Chains A and B, each alone.
Chain A
């Protein structure tokens, strides 16, 4: 069987030029990525900022050349036959406002459909339907410069589905959209895939829920490497033997955290500071380890405000693989960059 998307040892190195005299630094953005995505699959790439998700999408959509390795999309090699790949794919990236501001929403979308050679009447019909679905039909004749960032993004999402591609790439499609709009778009994404088994969709996200609830299979990616790739259920099943607890306690500092990690049977602890309290997520070898944790807390004069056992989530799988939660990694990165 051949795949809708297949990559072999895909690598991408960015050369970062500093000053004129300094040697360019090399940044390994993708390292030996091997993925096989089947026709009809809704596949998610889950990873923190800088994991390499966008880089992978750019290579698969013929925007960027890989440094080594190869990729086949919709039956053709993205490096050797980009012009064969292009009519069969489309891509949307979230969180940006693209489009010709002086054209209306309809004109923007119509123009793109024409580049794909879609008969004008069919294109117009699809534009109406899709705008209806994202709740933008009352703005069809507005100049796109008059739309808010979120509405422009909806227009951009419509542009992606408009050409009915064999393989659609969505790079953080719900980034910056409100809760309601995100839900509608997720709903539509799922329906689009279920309606036609020849369609394939690859989306990237750093929202755990999006990956968990929406995708058939998920690859967890960090620092350019695919750490795991399976259905959300199977990924979570890895943690079945372990016990997962969520605690709210009085504010902690770093030294306390190490105390917990050194308790026998505590696999991973993540910590999030809130206003006036701390949230701890603990992955434990089994349930009775929680009593040692509670004892250590009492000894350290830490008050427990709330304690819950819960089912494993993809977040826990990520923590288990990487050692940190996506949120922690991103706040670390924020601290480094300031």
Chain B
């Protein structure tokens, strides 16, 4: 009985992931794929490196360099996962015009959207890996593989990805209600949160009145844990969370992630109902 009741969820997720992969990997030219998933993130990292070297007069040996470099690399997940999930709303509704047919099918719609994000997650993981390898090989980013806390790394990575997916779902709900100019909203939000996540500079740099955003932003804790798990205690180069132990940060991350999961569940359902009331499930704008 339980198995059968889970079936629609598994189906929705699995097919959506398959479809998402067909769409994302539909590169007419493998060269474009390389640009998209390798050259773009690496060049973004390179810009950061140049800025860093100008500011610090090329002090790449300082532990803070690895810290910044890794924060920036893992941040790739934020944009890709949130955009992957929320963009499916626009893509299916406006571009493929299939959203109404999916919506009236026995599909669990939020699960479907989460599935659509899987492909972007895989591409993001690939970009992150390439970026880090590039840093280790050419920029002296110091990761000692024997010192890495793998358990902490994978647990934090997993929780973080779920947390990002839930944020993506909130965004997807909002996009269902917006009819015009939704371009790149996922990237825009990811970009805005970049400043409030301690990715490349500590929250202390922010004006006091805005700092709280960084403290309620689960991404802040997620990045901190990833960095600590990879480069150890030396990673506490930013003062922000240095008084907290790994376990304390993990607990905060889990608590915030659960909170976001609950919020996104309610928020998505609320948006979906409103979209259905306003007749927005199948609107087509001529963009």
Interface residues of A, Cβ cutoff 8 Å to B: 14-15, 58, 61-65, 83, 86-87, 89-91, 93, 96-103, 107, 111-112, 114-117, 159
A185 to B98, CA, bound (A): 22
Question: In the complex, how many angstroms separate the beta carbon of B134 from the nearest chain A beta carbon?
Answer: 31
Q: A101's closest neighbor in chain B, by CB?
A: B96
Let me know if B15 is at the binding interface, CB within 8 A: yes
Could you say which residues of chain B place their CB within 8 Å of the CB of A58?
A: 279, 282
Among candidates A64, A86, A97, residue contacting B105 with C-beta atoms closer than 8 Å = A86
Is B209 in the interface zone, CB < 8 Å from A? no
CA–CA, A87 to B279, complex, Å? 21
- Tell me which residues across on chain B come within 8 A of A87, comparing CB atoms: 106
Contact with A along B30-46 (1 / 0, CB 8 A): 00000000000000000
Pair A98/B22 contact, Cβ less than 8 Å: no
Q: A99-B98, A100-B98 are in contact. Are A115 and B105 (CB under 8 A)?
A: yes
If A98-B97, A115-B11, A117-B7 touch, does A89 touch B104 (CB 8 Å cutoff)? yes
Name B150-195 residues within 8 Å CB distance of A. none
CA distance A91 to B282 in the complex (A): 13
Whether B29 sits at the interface, judged by CB under 8 Å, is: no
Min C-beta distance of A200 to chain B, whole Å: 16
Smallest Cβ-Cβ distance to B280: which chain A residue: A64
Task: Check: B243 CB closer than 8 A to any chain A CB.
Answer: no
Task: Pick from A86, A103, A114, A115 the residue with the most CB of B within 10 Å.
Answer: A115
- Contact indicator per residue, chain B 86-120, by CB within 8 Å of chain A (1) or not (0): 00000000001110111111110000000000000
Given contacts A100-B96, A114-B15, 9 further A-B contacts (CB under 8 A): A14-B279, A58-B279, A62-B103, A63-B276, A86-B104, A90-B105, A91-B101, A100-B22, A102-B23
CB-CB nearest in chain A for B15: A114
Which residue on B lies nearest to A84, using beta carbons?
B106
0 or 1 for each of B1-43: is its CB under 8 Å from A? (1 = yes): 0000001100110010011001100100000000000000000
With A97-B97, A100-B98 known to touch, is A64 a contact of B104 (CB < 8 Å)?
A: no
Instruction: Assess whether B103 is in contact with A63, with CB atoms less than 8 Å apart.
Output: yes
Asked whether A64 lies within 8 Å of B279 as measured between CB atoms, the reply is yes
Which residue of chain B lies nearest to A110 when distances are taken between CB atoms in the complex? B15
Residue numbers in B under 8 Å from A64 (CB-CB): 276-277, 279, 281
Task: Name the one of A107, A117, A159 contacting B101, with C-beta atoms under 8 angstroms.
Answer: A159
Smallest Cβ-Cβ distance to B12: which chain A residue: A115
Bound complex: CA of A301 vs CA of B105, how far in Å?
Answer: 62
A63 engages B107 (CB within 8 Å): no
Residues of B within 8 A of A (CB): 7-8, 11-12, 15, 18-19, 22-23, 26, 96-98, 100-107, 273, 276-279, 281-282
State in angstroms the CA–CA spacing of A64 and B106 once bound together: 16
Chain B residues near A103: list those with CB within 8 A: 19, 22
Across-interface contacts of A102 in B (CB, < 8 A): 22-23, 26
Report B-chain residues with C-beta under 8 Å of the C-beta of A90: 104-105
Which B residues are in CB contact (< 8 Å) with A14?
279
Q: Is the CB of B15 within 8 A of A63?
A: no
| Interchain CB contact under 8 A, A115 and B97 | no
**Which residue of chain A has the shortest Cβ distance to B273 in the bound complex?**
A65
B3 to chain A, nearest CB (A): 13
CB distance from B283 to the nearest CB of A (A): 11
List, in ascending order, chain A residues with CB within 8 A of B8's CB.
Answer: 117
Chain B residues with Cβ below 8 Å from A97 are 97
CA distance A14 to B277 in the complex (A): 9
> Could you tell me the distance between the alpha carbons of A289 and B18 in the complex, rounded to whole angstroms?
70
A159 to B98, CA, bound (A): 11
Q: Can you list 10 A-B contacts (CB < 8 A)?
A: A62-B103, A64-B276, A83-B106, A90-B104, A90-B105, A91-B104, A103-B19, A112-B105, A115-B105, A117-B7
Most buried by A among B8, B19, B97, B104: B104
CB distance from A151 to the nearest CB of B (A): 16
* Whole-angstrom distance between the Cβ of A55 and the nearest chain B Cβ: 8
Contact B100 A63 (CB under 8 A): yes
Distance, CA A15 to CA B278, complexed state (A): 8
Q: For residue A86, which residue of chain B has the nearest CB?
A: B106
Most A Cβ at <10 Å: residue of B8, B19, B100: B100
| Chain B residues whose CB sits within 8 angstroms of the CB of A115 once the complex forms | 11-12, 15, 102, 105-107
Distance of A61 Cα from B11 Cα, bound (Å)? 21
Contact A63 B19 (CB under 8 A): no
Cα–Cα, bound, A117→B97 (Å): 22
Closest CB in chain B relative to A156 CB, distance in Å: 8
Q: Are B106 and A116 in contact (CB under 8 A)?
A: yes
Checking A62, A98, A112, A114 against B96 with a beta-carbon cut-off of 8 angstroms, the contacting residue is A98
Q: In whole Å, how far is A163's beta carbon from the nearest beta carbon of chain B?
A: 8
